Amino acid sequence: MAAVAFILHSAFLGSTPPSPGELELLQQAALVSNGSWSLFFQVSAERWLQPIPVYATALAGLIAPTDLAARYATAAAGALNVGLMFLVARRLFHHRLAPYGAAVLLLVTPAHLVHARLGTDAIYVLPFVLVWLICLGGYLRDGRTGHLVAGAFALGAGVYSQPAAPLTMMFLMAVSLAALGVSGRLSARTAGVSLATFALPLLLAAAWFAANPQSYADTFGRWAIHAAHLRFPLDAVRAFVNWTTLGTRVSLYWGFFDPSWLFFDGPSSAIALRGRAPFLLATLVLLVPGIRWALAQSAAVRVLLLGGLVVSPLAASTFGEPHAIHSAMAVIPLVLLLATAGATAALSTGSRTWRTVTWIAMAAGAADFARFYLSSWG
């Protein structure tokens, strides 16, 4: 399935000219290829790139045409996501067809499809989120410390994937601890192991900022914790409770969950999505039984899926841009896992009406995907 995904992601990649964001990534990757190594890459006075997209693009440039290297790198990342999504669903669901359904749903979802064909940094956060879901699901099932460590490390390493990732990964780490708490597995030892493993990849950034303190302000200082707030923590508290700032962020956060842009095509859709909503309309239909399924599961599963869904757009709401799906990509697998659960529940234990509705929704989704793909790149 990952191979099929890569073929779909990489076909007709040269049909559109590179965007400004792609050109930035290609330029920095070219510097890496010429021996200019760095942890963070300055694009402008207030804009830096994280290392994982730059180095992935540079690696792709060794085997792909230089002007398409960024797109081939994201196509490979998208294919990896499809394979990992299969493994996540196999952890969570008992139905033998559920992993295939989850992987296919990710493959045809517009937000994932477009960013897997667009050579920017948005999609690179997803492999780390999916590995975290696999590992934490495994730990909740068998209690093996190795799963706990691997999941926390994936979140820590994912901090270097894109600008919103530092905050996103911290919020997901909080969800991890909450899931462990409601499952009865949270102790001083498990919390310490999780937090220490999560912090381990951050030592690289700490060393970098110690050697290059001027780079903090426009990297983590802009994306996560402001330098001034590190010096004066009370200022951070005052900034957070400032009613104007808080009101703006809350408005952006709730606006992200507006169904009219998440599931319905129109002018409110992100420009990068070519006028498409992030999710297929069929996904909305499947979410109804999916949320019902989640509410009937263990408290740990509810916290993992629903809690992760709630916190994933928080980082995007701090950037001041409405409907910033590129900064909230972590929400995609969580929505699709709920939709997969809904389809599985409806087809296996649902009424005849729900089974019919589910089959119609899946057929309509497949047709919608084919029309979108062929009209955009075919």
Check residue 48 and report its DSSP letter: E
Predicted local confidence at residue 118, as pLDDT: 92
Give the Cα separation of 56 and 34 in Å (integer): 15
If you average pLDDT over residues 315-326, what whole number do you get?
83
Predicted local confidence at residue 349, as pLDDT: 79
If you average pLDDT over residues 265-288, what whole number do you get?
80
* Torsion angle of the four alpha carbons 155, 157, 161, 164, in this order, in degrees rounded to the nearest 10: 50
Whether the predicted pLDDT of 271 surpasses 60: no
3-state DSSP percent of the chain in helix, strand and coil, to 5: 75, 0, 25
How confident is the model over 341-355, as pLDDT tens digits?
999 988 887 788 888
More confident residue, 144 or 66: 144
How confident is the model over 191-241, as pLDDT tens digits?
999 999 999 999 999 999 899 888 887 787 766 666 555 555 555 555 555
Confidence of residue 242 (pLDDT cuts 50, 70, 90): low
How confident is the model over 277-300, as pLDDT tens digits?
999 999 999 999 999 999 999 999
If you average pLDDT over residues 26-40, what whole number do you get?
90
Query: Encoding tokens for residue 326?
Result: 């590129």
Query: Encoding tokens for residue 364?
Result: 């309509």
pTM score: 0.92
